Structure 1
């Protein structure tokens, strides 16, 4: 099975007209990660009402958008949600959860949702990847000592990838999808996404 890095395509030239969403509060982010942990443990509790999200830079809405924040939770359109929930593979349908959000602009023609990804895998192929880790004397984030700081080339070990979509255990801003998930997104022409292979055939920096 091949795997791919799923990113917001905000820096691609074709996405220059897009909107950019604002930052979630630390309190909301903490609730989101607690909710994902509850999902992993089989407890569907922790979030109730829709979450308000600001638009930092006005522009065209996209199907896939990162929210600014510590771990950049993705905000997706109703079309993205329905694409995932209508997938033939039950693993894809059950791999993520969606929570409604309210976008604070006068007119939004679509519904949007936070896409919560409970899957975590320690799946970096450290022998083949190139990376730097946080250290205990890091001037900004010594609390992240031992976690990945940057990848000059990310390569996934498929034997350690246990989900069709997941975050890396020690680099949770990075979202990994498998080949069927990638095909699903591309075949439905979902906007706002940037997908790069992490199998060693090309250099993927993140």
Structure 2
């Protein structure tokens, strides 16, 4: 007689279910019982793979970190590789914006995340930074990536650029010019990210 089928569980499967739940319903929905129901198992069975909600968040962060490509950081071209890495890093979090408030203040504990920071700092030093300057640049890149993935500057302005002109002429002029640039207003957030990244990389301290 065949054995009854059971849902196979693993840390990665639970983390994926949690990530899907966050993406669909936000942080308030992230409960162990809700994840268990989604997977068709009893809540207690999750604790064989994740010890607590904090451990669950670690598992979700591990899953996301697996999507961040560290390859560009080994590019001998230095700043070009760092820029490519930062764009990829931002692209991952643009897919998972609900995770940003969680990871922004969560401890960095996964091996993949630590390896990523180590690779970034090594690349910054190779590009000419001192270790102290590399730490500042890495913090700036982290803030720029996560901040730009969480917030959209453009979406805050819901009127046509010309509608702002009577009371806010500088804003109207800037938005009008931005709308005439390559990518128009829709591309302003990405262009702003590119500018911030260029400024950070241009400020790398040359080695003595």
Range into which the TM-score falls when normalised by the shorter chain: under 0.3
Q: In proportion to residue count, which structure has more strand?
A: 1
TM-score, structure 2 length as denominator?
0.26
TM-score, structure 1 length as denominator?
0.26
Q: In proportion to residue count, which structure has more helix?
A: 2
In our comparison, the structure showing a higher alpha carbon Rg is 2
